[in-house]
Chain A
């Protein structure tokens, strides 16, 4: 647990860069993100998804936790890339190292994990997956909207941003934010625009 706090404190001091996690779970940071991004490293690359984060969170091994912390740092934008140094001689000694080897593929040396690809579950669905969980138009959630929320939804459906809605209704910007969140939630939408689309689909907006 201590290593988690140390890692977060350390990444907070760095703007961008690469987090390098060695096989002992030690995390160091470099400032060579662009060199890596220029493909100068020659390392195999693996995309990061939240499933990868969850996989590492699932291990009690502190090395896995260190990698999970580095992934979180990438998600939070404090680190853009990171490498996992891999020691082949330890490959068969633990499931954790084996999983790293699987990421690594057949290439020896380090694996460079890059590019946040998001989580495959709501609220960050990929477009191709979104339809699968889109329950379609429903009036159930709409019935729970308050009169003010309906006003806000109507203005959302006209394309107004929150600041413009606040000005139009004569209420605080932060109040509008709260109403928008509530509208999105009550309509079972994952995003502002899905709520607007549903409003059109069920006739709340024309």
Chain B
């Protein structure tokens, strides 16, 4: 196990770790991402993998460069910072994440930090249910690796509550208002699939409305009513 320290947050995680940052808006997201990635930028023994929806990794890199006032192209060229990308095929997206993380670990980096913004309704990106399946497979995929993965969920942008539940159920840890906690809702991947994922509201078969064949007038209810004050 490797300790994962933050630039300012005093809490410490251990690897492997899959953390959901639940935030409101871009400002909080950037602050927390910098808090998470900052120590890796200053430590040549650590590597960074940036991913997300199309264009997301490049945006994150530009943000890091602007925030730190550093040109990170040397780190990118030597692949200490690796830019990845998501995929419409969630399985391919999973391989896009796991292959470079494994490669970085095999190259001897003591810790690989990953940041990936969660996204929905994005052209060329996985359907929401497939994205959640992908999320559920991340932690098993990095088992035994010195890797810490932070997925950012903008609570202000989530189009469906089920996606927020999904974030809580597929990540072992959460960071909300800067506080890291074990997710009490976390479910192992297999259990998550059978008890939650296949029952997402939009995957359930649509109930056909029953035809009304007769109407019966119902009289007043019998028996005592509950007493209220």
Residues of A within 8 A of B (CB): 15-16, 31, 33-34, 37, 50, 74-80, 116-119, 123-128, 130-131, 134, 136-137, 157-159, 161-163, 177, 180, 190-194, 196-197, 200-201
Cα(A77)–Cα(B88), bound, Å: 13
Chain B residues with Cβ under 8 A from A163's Cβ?
91, 95
Q: Which of B53, B62, B127, B130 contacts A33 (CB 8 A)?
A: B62
The verdict on A159 contacting B193 (CB below 8 Å), with A75-B54, A126-B159, A131-B201 known, is yes
Cα(A123)–Cα(B122), bound, Å: 11
Can you identify 16 A-B contacts, CB atoms within 8 angstroms? A16-B55, A16-B62, A33-B59, A75-B54, A75-B124, A77-B55, A80-B55, A118-B121, A126-B159, A127-B163, A130-B202, A130-B203, A193-B200, A194-B127, A194-B203, A197-B200
A78 and B55 form a contact (CB under 8 A): yes
Chain B residues with Cβ under 8 A from A193's Cβ?
90, 127, 129-130, 132-133, 197-198, 200, 203
A134 and B190 form a contact (CB under 8 A): no
Cα(A83)–Cα(B160), bound, Å: 29
Cα(A123)–Cα(B189), bound, Å: 25
What distance in Å separates the Cβ of B141 from its nearest Cβ neighbour in chain A?
8
A124 and B127 form a contact (CB under 8 A): yes
Q: How large is the interface on B (under 10, 10 to 19, 20 to 34, 35 or more residues)?
A: 35 or more
Chain B residues with Cβ under 8 A from A127's Cβ?
120, 128, 159-160, 162-163, 200-202
Known A77-B55, A126-B121, A191-B129; further 7 A-B contacts with Cβ < 8 A: A16-B55, A34-B59, A116-B122, A124-B123, A159-B189, A161-B95, A190-B127
Q: B136 within 8 Å of A by Cβ? A: yes
What distance in Å separates the Cβ of A35 from its nearest Cβ neighbour in chain B?
9
The verdict on A134 contacting B129 (CB below 8 Å), with A118-B121, A161-B94, A162-B91 known, is no
Closest to B189 in A: A159
Q: Which of A31, A177, A194, A201 contacts B129 (CB 8 A)?
A: A194
CB proximity to A under 8 Å, residues B49-82: 53-56, 58-59, 62-63, 66
Closest to B132 in A: A193
Cα(A163)–Cα(B96), bound, Å: 12
A131 and B90 form a contact (CB under 8 A): no
Q: B106 within 8 Å of A by Cβ? A: no
Chain A residues with Cβ under 8 A from B159's Cβ?
126-128
B123 and A116 form a contact (CB under 8 A): yes
Q: Which of B62, B123, B193, B197 contacts A119 (CB 8 A)?
A: B123
Cα(A34)–Cα(B59), bound, Å: 8
